[in-house]
Structure 1
Amino acid sequence: MTPTETLRHLLKQDTCHIMPCCFDALSAKLIAQEGYALTFMSGFAASASRIGAPDLGLMSYAEVLDQVRNITDATTIPLIGDGDTGYGNAMNVRRTVAGFAKAGAAAIMIEDQLAPKRCGHTPGKAVVSRDEAFDRVRAAVDERDALRAQDRDILILARTDARHEHGLGEAIERAATFAELGADILFVEAPRSEQEMREVCTSLPGPKMANIVEGGETPDLPNAILHDIGYSIAAYPLSLMAAAMQAMVTTLRAMRDDERPAQMDFADLRARIGFDDYYATSGRYRSSQR
Protein backbone atom coordinates (compact mmCIF):
# COMPACT_ATOMS: atom_id res chain seq x y z
CA MET A 1 0.00 0.00 0.00
CA THR A 2 1.03 3.61 -0.50
CA PRO A 3 1.59 5.74 2.62
CA THR A 4 -1.80 7.38 2.06
CA GLU A 5 -3.53 4.03 1.70
CA THR A 6 -1.82 2.87 4.88
CA LEU A 7 -2.99 5.98 6.73
CA ARG A 8 -6.52 5.49 5.47
CA HIS A 9 -6.40 1.89 6.77
CA LEU A 10 -5.07 3.03 10.16
CA LEU A 11 -7.89 5.54 10.54
CA LYS A 12 -10.47 2.76 10.15
CA GLN A 13 -9.07 0.84 13.12
CA ASP A 14 -10.84 1.01 16.47
CA THR A 15 -7.93 2.54 18.34
CA CYS A 16 -6.22 5.83 19.09
CA HIS A 17 -2.83 5.76 17.42
CA ILE A 18 0.02 7.29 19.41
CA MET A 19 1.84 9.56 16.96
CA PRO A 20 5.23 10.93 18.07
CA CYS A 21 6.03 13.91 15.88
CA CYS A 22 9.30 14.23 14.00
CA PHE A 23 11.28 17.28 12.98
CA ASP A 24 13.85 15.85 10.55
CA ALA A 25 14.81 12.66 8.74
CA LEU A 26 16.67 11.13 11.69
CA SER A 27 13.86 11.65 14.21
CA ALA A 28 11.38 10.16 11.71
CA LYS A 29 13.66 7.18 11.19
CA LEU A 30 13.85 6.55 14.94
CA ILE A 31 10.06 6.72 15.22
CA ALA A 32 9.71 4.07 12.51
CA GLN A 33 12.44 1.90 14.07
CA GLU A 34 10.52 1.87 17.34
CA GLY A 35 7.45 0.49 15.58
CA TYR A 36 5.13 3.49 15.46
CA ALA A 37 2.62 3.32 12.62
CA LEU A 38 2.72 6.98 11.56
CA THR A 39 4.29 10.35 12.27
CA PHE A 40 3.68 14.06 11.83
CA MET A 41 6.20 16.74 10.91
CA SER A 42 5.76 19.25 13.71
CA GLY A 43 6.05 22.82 12.45
CA PHE A 44 7.22 23.96 15.90
CA ALA A 45 9.98 21.35 16.06
CA ALA A 46 10.96 21.61 12.38
CA SER A 47 11.35 25.38 12.64
CA ALA A 48 13.51 24.98 15.74
CA SER A 49 15.61 22.27 14.12
CA ARG A 50 16.03 23.71 10.63
CA ILE A 51 16.38 27.45 11.22
CA GLY A 52 16.77 27.70 14.99
CA ALA A 53 13.77 30.00 15.22
CA PRO A 54 10.27 29.87 16.78
CA ASP A 55 7.22 28.59 14.92
CA LEU A 56 5.88 32.02 13.98
CA GLY A 57 5.57 31.67 10.21
CA LEU A 58 9.29 32.23 9.59
CA MET A 59 9.93 29.06 7.57
CA SER A 60 9.09 29.42 3.88
CA TYR A 61 7.01 27.01 1.83
CA ALA A 62 10.18 25.84 0.03
CA GLU A 63 11.97 25.13 3.31
CA VAL A 64 9.01 23.20 4.70
CA LEU A 65 8.61 21.20 1.51
CA ASP A 66 12.31 20.33 1.50
CA GLN A 67 11.98 19.09 5.09
CA VAL A 68 9.01 16.92 4.07
CA ARG A 69 11.04 15.39 1.23
CA ASN A 70 13.94 14.59 3.55
CA ILE A 71 11.61 12.82 5.95
CA THR A 72 9.71 10.79 3.36
CA ASP A 73 13.01 9.76 1.77
CA ALA A 74 14.18 8.38 5.12
CA THR A 75 11.12 6.35 6.15
CA THR A 76 8.11 4.58 4.66
CA ILE A 77 5.57 5.08 7.45
CA PRO A 78 2.83 7.62 6.67
CA LEU A 79 3.83 11.23 7.25
CA ILE A 80 1.33 14.01 7.94
CA GLY A 81 2.91 17.29 6.89
CA ASP A 82 2.22 20.66 8.49
CA GLY A 83 0.96 22.88 5.67
CA ASP A 84 0.23 25.80 8.03
CA THR A 85 -2.19 28.27 6.40
CA GLY A 86 -1.37 27.09 2.87
CA TYR A 87 1.08 29.98 2.29
CA GLY A 88 -1.36 32.41 0.72
CA ASN A 89 -4.80 32.42 -0.83
CA ALA A 90 -6.86 29.45 -2.01
CA MET A 91 -4.69 28.96 -5.09
CA ASN A 92 -1.59 28.85 -2.89
CA VAL A 93 -3.33 26.22 -0.78
CA ARG A 94 -3.85 24.09 -3.88
CA ARG A 95 -0.18 24.43 -4.83
CA THR A 96 0.86 23.52 -1.29
CA VAL A 97 -1.30 20.39 -1.28
CA ALA A 98 0.09 19.34 -4.66
CA GLY A 99 3.65 19.92 -3.48
CA PHE A 100 3.20 17.85 -0.33
CA ALA A 101 1.61 15.03 -2.32
CA LYS A 102 4.50 15.01 -4.79
CA ALA A 103 6.95 14.99 -1.88
CA GLY A 104 5.35 11.81 -0.53
CA ALA A 105 3.27 13.07 2.39
CA ALA A 106 0.30 10.85 3.24
CA ALA A 107 -1.70 13.84 4.50
CA ILE A 108 -1.39 17.58 4.88
CA MET A 109 -2.70 19.81 7.63
CA ILE A 110 -4.32 23.10 6.62
CA GLU A 111 -5.42 25.51 9.35
CA ASP A 112 -7.55 28.62 9.75
CA GLN A 113 -5.07 30.85 11.56
CA LEU A 114 -4.31 34.36 10.40
CA ALA A 115 -0.90 34.49 8.73
CA PRO A 116 1.75 34.54 10.00
CA LYS A 117 0.55 31.59 12.05
CA ARG A 118 1.66 30.75 15.58
CA CYS A 119 2.08 27.61 17.61
CA GLY A 120 -1.39 26.59 18.80
CA HIS A 121 -0.45 26.76 22.49
CA THR A 122 1.23 30.17 22.46
CA PRO A 123 -0.35 33.62 22.90
CA GLY A 124 -1.35 36.04 20.16
CA LYS A 125 -2.91 33.69 17.64
CA ALA A 126 -6.01 34.68 15.67
CA VAL A 127 -8.14 33.04 13.00
CA VAL A 128 -9.41 34.23 9.64
CA SER A 129 -13.10 34.67 8.85
CA ARG A 130 -15.30 31.65 8.32
CA ASP A 131 -15.47 32.28 4.59
CA GLU A 132 -11.70 32.38 4.22
CA ALA A 133 -11.28 29.31 6.42
CA PHE A 134 -13.83 27.40 4.35
CA ASP A 135 -12.16 28.51 1.11
CA ARG A 136 -8.84 27.10 2.31
CA VAL A 137 -10.34 23.70 3.07
CA ARG A 138 -12.43 23.74 -0.11
CA ALA A 139 -9.29 24.46 -2.16
CA ALA A 140 -7.36 21.71 -0.37
CA VAL A 141 -10.14 19.19 -1.02
CA ASP A 142 -10.44 20.26 -4.67
CA GLU A 143 -6.71 19.73 -5.18
CA ARG A 144 -6.86 16.36 -3.41
CA ASP A 145 -9.63 15.26 -5.78
CA ALA A 146 -7.73 16.57 -8.81
CA LEU A 147 -4.65 14.62 -7.72
CA ARG A 148 -6.66 11.43 -7.36
CA ALA A 149 -7.72 11.80 -10.97
CA GLN A 150 -3.98 11.68 -11.78
CA ASP A 151 -3.45 8.54 -9.64
CA ARG A 152 -1.83 10.56 -6.84
CA ASP A 153 -3.26 10.53 -3.34
CA ILE A 154 -3.19 12.62 -0.16
CA LEU A 155 -5.57 13.16 2.76
CA ILE A 156 -6.64 16.53 4.16
CA LEU A 157 -6.35 17.22 7.89
CA ALA A 158 -8.38 20.37 8.56
CA ARG A 159 -7.49 22.31 11.71
CA THR A 160 -9.24 25.14 13.50
CA ASP A 161 -7.76 27.36 16.22
CA ALA A 162 -11.03 29.20 16.82
CA ARG A 163 -11.35 27.88 20.40
CA HIS A 164 -8.78 30.42 21.63
CA GLU A 165 -10.49 33.56 20.33
CA HIS A 166 -14.13 32.63 19.75
CA GLY A 167 -14.88 29.69 22.03
CA LEU A 168 -15.44 25.97 21.62
CA GLY A 169 -18.81 26.32 19.90
CA GLU A 170 -17.33 28.30 17.02
CA ALA A 171 -14.46 25.83 16.70
CA ILE A 172 -16.85 22.89 16.49
CA GLU A 173 -19.05 24.65 13.93
CA ARG A 174 -16.04 25.40 11.75
CA ALA A 175 -14.79 21.83 11.99
CA ALA A 176 -18.25 20.48 11.14
CA THR A 177 -18.23 22.56 7.96
CA PHE A 178 -14.71 21.33 7.17
CA ALA A 179 -16.13 17.79 7.27
CA GLU A 180 -19.03 18.78 5.00
CA LEU A 181 -16.51 20.22 2.54
CA GLY A 182 -14.74 16.87 2.42
CA ALA A 183 -11.86 17.02 4.93
CA ASP A 184 -10.63 13.53 5.85
CA ILE A 185 -9.46 14.23 9.42
CA LEU A 186 -10.59 16.95 11.83
CA PHE A 187 -8.45 18.76 14.38
CA VAL A 188 -9.90 21.22 16.90
CA GLU A 189 -6.83 22.73 18.53
CA ALA A 190 -6.45 23.33 22.26
CA PRO A 191 -9.63 22.18 24.01
CA ARG A 192 -9.03 22.98 27.66
CA SER A 193 -10.60 20.07 29.53
CA GLU A 194 -11.58 16.44 29.13
CA GLN A 195 -15.21 17.56 28.88
CA GLU A 196 -14.36 19.88 25.98
CA MET A 197 -12.47 17.05 24.28
CA ARG A 198 -15.52 14.81 24.63
CA GLU A 199 -17.77 17.52 23.24
CA VAL A 200 -15.49 17.84 20.20
CA CYS A 201 -15.58 14.12 19.48
CA THR A 202 -19.30 13.60 20.05
CA SER A 203 -20.18 16.65 17.93
CA LEU A 204 -18.03 15.88 14.89
CA PRO A 205 -17.98 13.03 12.36
CA GLY A 206 -15.07 10.96 11.13
CA PRO A 207 -11.53 10.66 12.47
CA LYS A 208 -10.35 13.29 14.96
CA MET A 209 -6.85 14.17 16.13
CA ALA A 210 -5.82 15.29 19.62
CA ASN A 211 -2.72 17.43 20.03
CA ILE A 212 -0.93 16.81 23.31
CA VAL A 213 1.64 19.46 24.21
CA GLU A 214 3.28 18.76 27.54
CA GLY A 215 2.54 21.87 29.61
CA GLY A 216 0.02 23.11 27.03
CA GLU A 217 -3.68 23.87 27.36
CA THR A 218 -5.05 20.42 26.43
CA PRO A 219 -5.00 17.76 29.18
CA ASP A 220 -2.32 15.08 28.76
CA LEU A 221 -4.58 12.06 29.16
CA PRO A 222 -3.69 8.35 28.92
CA ASN A 223 -4.15 6.84 25.48
CA ALA A 224 -6.97 4.56 26.65
CA ILE A 225 -8.98 7.61 27.72
CA LEU A 226 -8.25 9.43 24.45
CA HIS A 227 -9.59 6.37 22.61
CA ASP A 228 -12.68 6.29 24.83
CA ILE A 229 -13.26 9.98 24.16
CA GLY A 230 -13.25 9.26 20.42
CA TYR A 231 -9.86 10.27 19.03
CA SER A 232 -8.20 8.27 16.24
CA ILE A 233 -4.79 9.93 16.57
CA ALA A 234 -2.93 11.44 19.52
CA ALA A 235 -0.12 13.69 18.29
CA TYR A 236 2.83 14.54 20.54
CA PRO A 237 4.49 17.43 18.67
CA LEU A 238 7.27 18.35 21.09
CA SER A 239 8.13 15.19 23.05
CA LEU A 240 11.12 14.17 20.92
CA MET A 241 12.37 17.71 20.38
CA ALA A 242 12.20 18.46 24.11
CA ALA A 243 13.94 15.20 24.98
CA ALA A 244 16.69 15.79 22.40
CA MET A 245 17.27 19.36 23.56
CA GLN A 246 17.41 18.30 27.21
CA ALA A 247 19.92 15.55 26.40
CA MET A 248 22.12 17.95 24.42
CA VAL A 249 22.05 20.63 27.13
CA THR A 250 22.85 18.02 29.80
CA THR A 251 25.76 16.67 27.76
CA LEU A 252 27.15 20.12 26.97
CA ARG A 253 27.10 21.10 30.64
CA ALA A 254 28.74 17.82 31.65
CA MET A 255 31.49 18.20 29.03
CA ARG A 256 32.31 21.63 30.41
CA ASP A 257 33.11 19.86 33.70
CA ASP A 258 35.07 17.15 31.86
CA GLU A 259 32.34 14.58 32.52
CA ARG A 260 30.82 12.06 30.10
CA PRO A 261 27.12 11.38 30.71
CA ALA A 262 25.56 8.11 29.60
CA GLN A 263 24.69 8.05 25.90
CA MET A 264 23.80 5.66 23.10
CA ASP A 265 26.41 2.99 22.36
CA PHE A 266 28.45 3.78 19.23
CA ALA A 267 27.50 0.47 17.58
CA ASP A 268 23.78 1.16 18.14
CA LEU A 269 24.26 4.72 16.90
CA ARG A 270 25.80 3.47 13.65
CA ALA A 271 23.12 0.83 13.17
CA ARG A 272 20.23 3.22 13.70
CA ILE A 273 21.65 5.78 11.29
CA GLY A 274 22.07 3.08 8.65
CA PHE A 275 25.77 2.24 8.45
CA ASP A 276 25.18 -1.51 8.83
CA ASP A 277 22.55 -1.56 6.08
CA TYR A 278 24.83 0.47 3.83
CA TYR A 279 27.77 -1.92 4.26
CA ALA A 280 25.55 -4.98 3.78
CA THR A 281 24.22 -3.60 0.50
CA SER A 282 27.49 -2.17 -0.77
CA GLY A 283 29.13 -5.56 -0.28
CA ARG A 284 27.44 -6.66 -3.51
CA TYR A 285 29.55 -4.23 -5.54
CA ARG A 286 33.33 -4.53 -5.87
CA SER A 287 33.93 -0.85 -6.62
CA SER A 288 32.21 0.18 -3.39
CA GLN A 289 34.85 -1.63 -1.37
CA ARG A 290 37.71 0.57 -2.57
Structure 2
Amino acid sequence: MATPSQHDLRKDFRALLDSNQCYYTASTFDPMSARIAADLGFEVGILGGSVASLQVLAAPDFALITLSEFAEQAMRIGRVARLPIIADADHGYGNALNVMRTVVELERAGVAALTLEDTLLPAKFGHKSTDLIPLDEAIGKIEAALEARIDPTMAIIARTNAGQLSIEDTVKRVKAYQASGADGICMVGIRDFDHLEAISQHVSVPLMLVAYDNPELSDRQRLANNGVRIVVNGHAAYFAAIKATYDCLREQRHVEASPLNASELSTRYSTLEENREWAKKYMEVRE
Protein backbone atom coordinates (compact mmCIF):
# COMPACT_ATOMS: atom_id res chain seq x y z
CA MET A 1 0.00 0.00 0.00
CA ALA A 2 1.40 3.38 -1.02
CA THR A 3 1.92 5.99 1.66
CA PRO A 4 -0.56 8.87 1.17
CA SER A 5 0.77 12.34 0.51
CA GLN A 6 1.02 14.75 3.42
CA HIS A 7 -1.54 17.02 1.78
CA ASP A 8 -4.00 14.14 1.38
CA LEU A 9 -3.58 13.18 5.04
CA ARG A 10 -4.28 16.78 6.01
CA LYS A 11 -7.45 16.70 3.94
CA ASP A 12 -8.41 13.46 5.70
CA PHE A 13 -7.98 15.18 9.06
CA ARG A 14 -10.07 18.14 7.91
CA ALA A 15 -12.80 15.65 6.98
CA LEU A 16 -12.72 14.33 10.56
CA LEU A 17 -13.11 17.87 11.91
CA ASP A 18 -15.98 18.54 9.49
CA SER A 19 -17.82 15.34 10.39
CA ASN A 20 -20.46 14.84 13.05
CA GLN A 21 -18.52 12.06 14.80
CA CYS A 22 -15.98 11.81 17.61
CA TYR A 23 -12.67 10.00 17.04
CA TYR A 24 -10.14 8.66 19.55
CA THR A 25 -6.46 9.15 18.79
CA ALA A 26 -3.80 6.48 18.68
CA SER A 27 -0.61 7.32 20.56
CA THR A 28 1.98 7.29 17.78
CA PHE A 29 5.54 7.73 18.97
CA ASP A 30 7.61 6.33 16.11
CA PRO A 31 7.12 5.19 12.49
CA MET A 32 6.17 1.63 13.42
CA SER A 33 3.49 2.66 15.91
CA ALA A 34 1.98 5.03 13.33
CA ARG A 35 1.77 2.30 10.71
CA ILE A 36 0.35 -0.20 13.20
CA ALA A 37 -2.32 2.32 14.23
CA ALA A 38 -3.38 2.88 10.62
CA ASP A 39 -3.51 -0.86 9.92
CA LEU A 40 -5.73 -1.36 12.97
CA GLY A 41 -8.19 1.20 11.68
CA PHE A 42 -7.42 4.30 13.72
CA GLU A 43 -8.42 7.45 11.89
CA VAL A 44 -5.89 9.76 13.55
CA GLY A 45 -2.71 9.58 15.63
CA ILE A 46 -0.99 11.98 17.98
CA LEU A 47 2.67 12.57 18.82
CA GLY A 48 2.48 13.77 22.42
CA GLY A 49 5.06 16.17 23.77
CA SER A 50 5.44 14.12 26.93
CA VAL A 51 5.90 10.93 24.94
CA ALA A 52 8.43 12.53 22.59
CA SER A 53 10.38 13.80 25.60
CA LEU A 54 10.54 10.29 27.06
CA GLN A 55 11.28 8.65 23.72
CA VAL A 56 14.05 11.05 22.69
CA LEU A 57 15.53 12.13 26.05
CA ALA A 58 14.16 9.79 28.73
CA ALA A 59 13.13 13.11 30.28
CA PRO A 60 9.84 14.22 31.89
CA ASP A 61 7.40 16.65 30.31
CA PHE A 62 9.23 19.74 31.59
CA ALA A 63 9.70 21.49 28.21
CA LEU A 64 13.22 20.05 27.94
CA ILE A 65 12.92 18.69 24.41
CA THR A 66 13.93 21.17 21.71
CA LEU A 67 12.05 22.03 18.55
CA SER A 68 14.66 20.35 16.36
CA GLU A 69 14.47 17.12 18.39
CA PHE A 70 10.68 17.11 18.32
CA ALA A 71 10.49 17.98 14.62
CA GLU A 72 12.97 15.21 13.75
CA GLN A 73 10.79 12.65 15.51
CA ALA A 74 7.69 14.04 13.79
CA MET A 75 9.45 13.81 10.43
CA ARG A 76 10.39 10.17 11.00
CA ILE A 77 6.73 9.44 11.60
CA GLY A 78 5.38 11.73 8.88
CA ARG A 79 7.62 10.17 6.24
CA VAL A 80 5.77 6.84 6.36
CA ALA A 81 2.49 7.52 8.18
CA ARG A 82 -0.73 6.27 6.63
CA LEU A 83 -3.01 8.25 8.93
CA PRO A 84 -3.10 11.94 9.90
CA ILE A 85 -0.80 12.84 12.78
CA ILE A 86 -1.47 15.61 15.30
CA ALA A 87 1.69 17.12 16.79
CA ASP A 88 1.56 18.34 20.37
CA ALA A 89 3.61 21.50 19.80
CA ASP A 90 3.45 22.57 23.46
CA HIS A 91 3.86 26.38 23.68
CA GLY A 92 5.44 26.66 20.23
CA TYR A 93 8.92 26.56 21.79
CA GLY A 94 8.99 30.21 22.72
CA ASN A 95 7.37 33.48 21.74
CA ALA A 96 5.27 34.26 18.66
CA LEU A 97 8.32 34.31 16.40
CA ASN A 98 9.40 30.92 17.73
CA VAL A 99 5.87 29.71 17.04
CA MET A 100 6.26 30.69 13.39
CA ARG A 101 9.45 28.64 13.17
CA THR A 102 7.68 25.72 14.88
CA VAL A 103 4.86 25.77 12.34
CA VAL A 104 7.31 25.81 9.44
CA GLU A 105 9.30 22.87 10.81
CA LEU A 106 6.30 20.73 11.72
CA GLU A 107 4.59 21.42 8.40
CA ARG A 108 7.73 20.22 6.64
CA ALA A 109 7.72 17.17 8.91
CA GLY A 110 4.35 16.21 7.49
CA VAL A 111 1.96 16.57 10.41
CA ALA A 112 -1.71 17.10 9.65
CA ALA A 113 -2.36 19.36 12.63
CA LEU A 114 -0.66 20.85 15.64
CA THR A 115 -1.89 21.99 19.02
CA LEU A 116 -0.55 25.22 20.47
CA GLU A 117 -1.14 25.75 24.16
CA ASP A 118 -1.27 28.84 26.35
CA THR A 119 0.66 27.32 29.25
CA LEU A 120 3.57 29.36 30.61
CA LEU A 121 6.43 27.16 29.39
CA PRO A 122 9.07 26.57 30.44
CA ALA A 123 7.95 27.28 33.99
CA LYS A 124 9.37 30.51 35.40
CA PHE A 125 11.03 31.00 38.77
CA GLY A 126 8.47 30.90 41.56
CA HIS A 127 5.55 30.05 39.28
CA LYS A 128 3.31 27.01 39.11
CA SER A 129 4.00 24.62 36.25
CA THR A 130 0.38 25.08 35.10
CA ASP A 131 0.28 28.88 34.93
CA LEU A 132 -1.07 30.39 31.69
CA ILE A 133 0.29 33.22 29.58
CA PRO A 134 -1.74 36.43 29.15
CA LEU A 135 -4.62 36.20 26.69
CA ASP A 136 -3.17 38.82 24.33
CA GLU A 137 0.11 36.89 24.11
CA ALA A 138 -1.75 33.67 23.35
CA ILE A 139 -3.76 35.37 20.60
CA GLY A 140 -0.55 36.69 19.09
CA LYS A 141 0.85 33.16 18.97
CA ILE A 142 -2.21 31.82 17.17
CA GLU A 143 -2.14 34.61 14.63
CA ALA A 144 1.59 34.08 14.10
CA ALA A 145 1.01 30.37 13.55
CA LEU A 146 -1.61 31.06 10.91
CA GLU A 147 0.71 33.53 9.19
CA ALA A 148 3.54 30.98 9.04
CA ARG A 149 1.42 28.14 7.67
CA ILE A 150 1.91 27.46 3.96
CA ASP A 151 -0.53 24.60 3.37
CA PRO A 152 -3.93 25.91 4.53
CA THR A 153 -5.19 22.37 5.04
CA MET A 154 -2.85 21.88 8.02
CA ALA A 155 -4.94 22.59 11.11
CA ILE A 156 -3.84 24.97 13.86
CA ILE A 157 -5.59 24.00 17.11
CA ALA A 158 -5.44 26.33 20.10
CA ARG A 159 -5.22 24.57 23.45
CA THR A 160 -6.06 25.77 26.95
CA ASN A 161 -6.34 24.23 30.40
CA ALA A 162 -10.00 24.38 31.38
CA GLY A 163 -9.16 22.67 34.65
CA GLN A 164 -7.14 25.68 35.77
CA LEU A 165 -9.73 28.31 34.86
CA SER A 166 -13.24 29.22 35.80
CA ILE A 167 -15.90 28.52 33.19
CA GLU A 168 -16.15 32.25 32.53
CA ASP A 169 -12.41 32.61 31.93
CA THR A 170 -12.31 29.45 29.81
CA VAL A 171 -15.12 30.74 27.61
CA LYS A 172 -13.35 34.07 27.26
CA ARG A 173 -10.21 32.35 26.06
CA VAL A 174 -11.78 29.86 23.66
CA LYS A 175 -13.96 32.56 22.09
CA ALA A 176 -10.89 34.73 21.58
CA TYR A 177 -8.91 31.86 20.06
CA GLN A 178 -11.81 31.04 17.76
CA ALA A 179 -12.05 34.68 16.68
CA SER A 180 -8.30 34.68 16.01
CA GLY A 181 -8.79 32.05 13.33
CA ALA A 182 -7.88 28.81 15.12
CA ASP A 183 -9.19 25.78 13.23
CA GLY A 184 -10.17 24.07 16.45
CA ILE A 185 -10.00 24.33 20.24
CA CYS A 186 -8.30 21.74 22.44
CA MET A 187 -9.12 21.62 26.13
CA VAL A 188 -7.54 19.70 28.97
CA GLY A 189 -9.12 19.41 32.41
CA ILE A 190 -12.78 19.07 31.43
CA ARG A 191 -14.38 17.33 34.40
CA ASP A 192 -17.71 16.06 33.09
CA PHE A 193 -20.45 16.79 30.57
CA ASP A 194 -21.90 19.67 32.59
CA HIS A 195 -18.48 21.34 32.46
CA LEU A 196 -18.13 20.60 28.75
CA GLU A 197 -21.60 21.82 27.81
CA ALA A 198 -21.16 25.09 29.69
CA ILE A 199 -18.24 25.83 27.35
CA SER A 200 -19.15 24.10 24.09
CA GLN A 201 -22.29 26.17 23.62
CA HIS A 202 -20.04 29.18 23.02
CA VAL A 203 -17.83 27.48 20.41
CA SER A 204 -18.54 26.93 16.73
CA VAL A 205 -15.20 25.41 15.67
CA PRO A 206 -14.43 21.71 16.28
CA LEU A 207 -13.34 20.69 19.76
CA MET A 208 -10.56 18.37 20.88
CA LEU A 209 -10.33 17.02 24.43
CA VAL A 210 -7.40 15.61 26.36
CA ALA A 211 -9.52 13.35 28.54
CA TYR A 212 -7.17 10.62 29.85
CA ASP A 213 -9.95 8.00 29.93
CA ASN A 214 -12.12 10.13 32.21
CA PRO A 215 -15.18 7.89 32.83
CA GLU A 216 -17.35 11.00 33.11
CA LEU A 217 -16.65 11.68 29.42
CA SER A 218 -17.06 8.19 27.99
CA ASP A 219 -20.25 8.70 25.96
CA ARG A 220 -18.85 9.18 22.47
CA GLN A 221 -22.17 10.19 20.93
CA ARG A 222 -22.73 12.85 23.58
CA LEU A 223 -19.20 14.12 22.96
CA ALA A 224 -19.97 14.36 19.26
CA ASN A 225 -23.21 16.18 19.96
CA ASN A 226 -21.18 18.80 21.85
CA GLY A 227 -18.87 19.41 18.92
CA VAL A 228 -16.02 17.19 20.13
CA ARG A 229 -14.31 15.62 17.13
CA ILE A 230 -11.02 14.41 18.62
CA VAL A 231 -10.33 12.82 22.02
CA VAL A 232 -6.91 11.98 23.45
CA ASN A 233 -7.24 9.26 26.07
CA GLY A 234 -3.60 9.12 27.04
CA HIS A 235 -0.59 7.20 25.74
CA ALA A 236 -1.10 3.66 26.97
CA ALA A 237 0.58 2.16 23.91
CA TYR A 238 3.84 3.92 24.66
CA PHE A 239 3.89 2.86 28.31
CA ALA A 240 3.02 -0.68 27.28
CA ALA A 241 6.08 -0.59 25.00
CA ILE A 242 8.25 0.43 27.95
CA LYS A 243 6.85 -2.46 30.00
CA ALA A 244 7.36 -4.94 27.15
CA THR A 245 10.96 -3.79 26.70
CA TYR A 246 11.61 -4.14 30.43
CA ASP A 247 10.08 -7.61 30.58
CA CYS A 248 11.96 -8.85 27.52
CA LEU A 249 15.34 -7.64 28.77
CA ARG A 250 14.63 -8.82 32.31
CA GLU A 251 13.82 -12.33 31.09
CA GLN A 252 17.02 -12.43 29.04
CA ARG A 253 19.01 -11.62 32.18
CA HIS A 254 16.95 -13.98 34.37
CA VAL A 255 16.07 -11.16 36.76
CA GLU A 256 13.10 -11.47 39.10
CA ALA A 257 10.00 -9.66 37.90
CA SER A 258 9.34 -6.16 39.21
CA PRO A 259 5.98 -5.30 40.80
CA LEU A 260 6.03 -1.92 39.06
CA ASN A 261 3.42 -1.20 36.40
CA ALA A 262 4.17 0.46 33.05
CA SER A 263 3.74 4.02 34.32
CA GLU A 264 5.88 3.34 37.39
CA LEU A 265 8.60 1.85 35.22
CA SER A 266 8.66 4.96 33.05
CA THR A 267 9.15 7.04 36.20
CA ARG A 268 11.89 4.75 37.45
CA TYR A 269 13.93 4.86 34.26
CA SER A 270 13.33 8.46 33.23
CA THR A 271 15.06 11.46 34.77
CA LEU A 272 11.87 12.65 36.44
CA GLU A 273 13.03 12.73 40.05
CA GLU A 274 16.32 14.47 39.26
CA ASN A 275 14.54 17.16 37.28
CA ARG A 276 11.92 17.65 39.98
CA GLU A 277 14.62 18.24 42.55
CA TRP A 278 16.53 20.63 40.27
CA ALA A 279 13.33 22.57 39.53
CA LYS A 280 12.58 22.98 43.23
CA LYS A 281 16.18 23.82 44.10
CA TYR A 282 17.00 26.29 41.37
CA MET A 283 13.61 27.65 40.28
CA GLU A 284 11.27 27.27 43.24
CA VAL A 285 8.76 25.78 40.84
CA ARG A 286 5.49 24.95 42.61
CA GLU A 287 3.60 21.95 41.24
* Pair in the same fold by TM > 0.5: yes
Residue identity in the other structure for 1:234? V
Question: Which of the residues 229, 246, 249 maps onto 2:243?
Answer: 246
What does 1:149-188 align with in structure 2 at a 5 Å threshold?
Answer: 153-161=153-161, 163-164=163-164, 166-188=165-187
Deviations 1:29-77 (A, max 9, x none): 2111111111111111111111111111010000000011001112131
Partner of 1:268: none
Partner of 1:136: 141
Residue identity in the other structure for 1:114? L
Distance 1:117 1:82, change over 3 A: farther
Q: CA RMSD in A?
A: 2.4
Which shows bigger deviation, 27-36 or 245-254? 245-254
Partner of 1:69: 75
Residue identity in the other structure for 2:105? G
Question: Which of the residues 224, 236, 240 maps onto 2:221?
Answer: 224
Partner of 1:202: 201
CA distance in 2, matches of 1:96, 1:209: 21
Partner of 1:284: none
CA contact (8 A) 2:174 2:185 kept: yes
CA distance in 1, matches of 2:82, 2:184: 21
1:203 is paired with a residue whose SS is coil
CA distance in 2, matches of 1:239, 1:199: 29
Q: CA deviation at 1:222?
A: 3.7
Distance 1:15 1:190, change over 3 A: same
Residue identity in the other structure for 2:181? G
5+ long unaligned stretches in structure 1: 261-290
Deviations 1:193-239 (A, max 9, x none): 2211222222211110111224x7x8451423322333111122312
2:243 is paired with a residue whose SS is helix
Distance 1:258 1:163, change over 3 A: closer
CA contact (8 A) 1:212 1:219 kept: no
CA contact (8 A) 2:96 2:141 kept: yes
CA distance in 2, matches of 1:107, 1:65: 13
Distance 1:238 1:126, change over 3 A: same
Check if 1:126 corresponds to 2:131.
yes
Q: CA deviation at 1:13?
A: 1.4
Residue identity in the other structure for 1:205? S
Q: CA deviation at 1:135?
A: 0.7
Could you list the structure 1 runs, at least 4 aligned residues long, displaced by more than 6 angstroms after superposition: none
Q: CA deviation at 1:255?
A: 4.9
Partner of 1:265: none
1:40 is paired with a residue whose SS is strand
- Max Rg structure: 1
CA distance in 2, matches of 1:156, 1:258: 47
What does 1:60-139 align with in structure 2 at a 5 Å threshold?
Answer: 60-116=66-122, 124-139=129-144
Partner of 1:235: 232
1:244 is paired with a residue whose SS is helix
TM-score by length of 2: 0.79
Q: CA deviation at 1:258?
A: 7.5
Partner of 1:276: none
TM-score by length of 1: 0.78
Question: Which of the residues 18, 42, 60 maps onto 1:36?
Answer: 42
Distance 1:53 1:16, change over 3 A: same
Distance 1:94 1:247, change over 3 A: same
